[in-house]
Amino acid sequence: MRSIILIFVFYLLVSVSFAQSVETTYYENSYLGKKTSERRALYAKTVTKGSEGETTIEIVRLKNKETISRESYRDKEPIGKWLYTNLYGSSEALDYDFKLDYSDNLCQADTATYLDFKRINSYSFSDNDSAGYIAPKLATGEKNLSIFVSKRIVYPRDALTDETEGTVQVQLIIDQNGKVEAIAIKKGVDVRLDKEAMRIVRAMKFLNGATIKGIKKKLCTILPIKFLIGD
């Protein structure tokens, strides 16, 4: 009986080792530019790979054993909850725990419900007094969406390494009361950038919906989010 238990434990340990691999490398600084020995290191990067394509990358400041970054992917797609520390040392949680949707026809042609932009000849997030159009306003106080995006965009580390860049076109529907009720990628670039663009749009909150000549309308529009490395 004891030998059977030992054999079972052995096979269990073997199966766990095949299901997951862990590799830790050591660095002199948080930019991870130069590897060093464990004894001299200030930072450590641990990469854990699962059996179903999941990879988690964790960076630890060794002096106080503080985790300053944690990223998870399935294949290349960001997944789960991340911990991100910016260049100023501030940490924040990033939520990639959602499904990435692609659609070329999220908007409907029902002009009785949806706003017809041919009537206002205006950018969807700018008021047009001559057309009687009042645009949705961000609840977070930014005067335009480009400021909102620039304050929150996080370039995935893996995509930076690969020098992947481009413009993701995100479709979104804002209902009559300003609630974002649907989001989809109309034109993607790379699954990592597409997921980040969708995360940013999911974080948008509006004080009001769109109004044309006093009538509240649903708004379906396309928001381009640009990822550009360097100048």
For residue range 174-187, list pLDDT tens digits in order.
999 999 999 999 99
Q: Mark whether 83 and 121 lie in a shared domain.
A: no
pLDDT of residue 115: 82
Q: Mark whether 89 and 156 lie in a shared domain.
A: no
Q: What sign does the dihedral 134-140-141-143 (CA atoms) show?
A: negative
Q: Mark whether 66 and 142 lie in a shared domain.
A: no
Tell me the two tokens of residue 152: 């929150």
Q: Mark whether 76 and 142 lie in a shared domain.
A: no
Q: Mark whether 71 and 124 lie in a shared domain.
A: no
pLDDT of residue 107: 75
Q: Mark whether 124 and 222 lie in a shared domain.
A: yes
Domain assignment of residue 102, yes or no: no
- Rounded to whole angstroms, how far apart are CA atoms 160 and 213? 45
pLDDT of residue 109: 60
CB half-sphere exposure, 152, CA atoms < 13 A: 20
pTM for the full predicted model: 0.82
Tell me the two tokens of residue 160: 């930076």
The CATH number linked to 190 is 3.30.2420.10
What residues form DSSP beta bridges with 114? Answer: 218
Q: Mark whether 90 and 133 lie in a shared domain.
A: no
Question: Which residues of the chain have a pLDDT value below 70?
Answer: 1-19, 87, 108-111, 117-122, 231
Q: Mark whether 10 and 70 lie in a shared domain.
A: yes
pLDDT of residue 47: 94
- Rounded to whole angstroms, how far apart are CA atoms 143 and 149? 12
The total number of structural domains in the chain stands at 2
Domain assignment of residue 110, yes or no: no
Domain assignment of residue 104, yes or no: no
- Rounded to whole angstroms, how far apart are CA atoms 63 and 44? 10
Domain assignment of residue 33, yes or no: yes
pLDDT of residue 3: 54
Nearest to 187 by CA among 156, 153, 226: 226
The DSSP-derived string for the chain is -HHHHHHHHHHHHHHHHHHEEEEEEEESSTT--SB--TTT-SEEEEEEEETTSEEEEEEEETTTTEEEEEEEEETTEE-EEEEEE-TTS-EEEEEE-S---B-S--S---TTTB--GGGT-S-TTS-BGGGTEE---BTT--SSHHHHHHHH----HHHHHTT--EEEEEEEEE-TTS-EEEEEEEE-S-HHHHHHHHHHHHT--BSS-EEETTEEEBEEEEEEEEE----
Nearest to 186 by CA among 173, 200, 170, 172: 170
User: Which residue has 């379906």 as its token pair?
Assistant: 220
Q: Mark whether 91 and 173 lie in a shared domain.
A: no
> Structural domain of residue 61, as residue ranges?
2-96
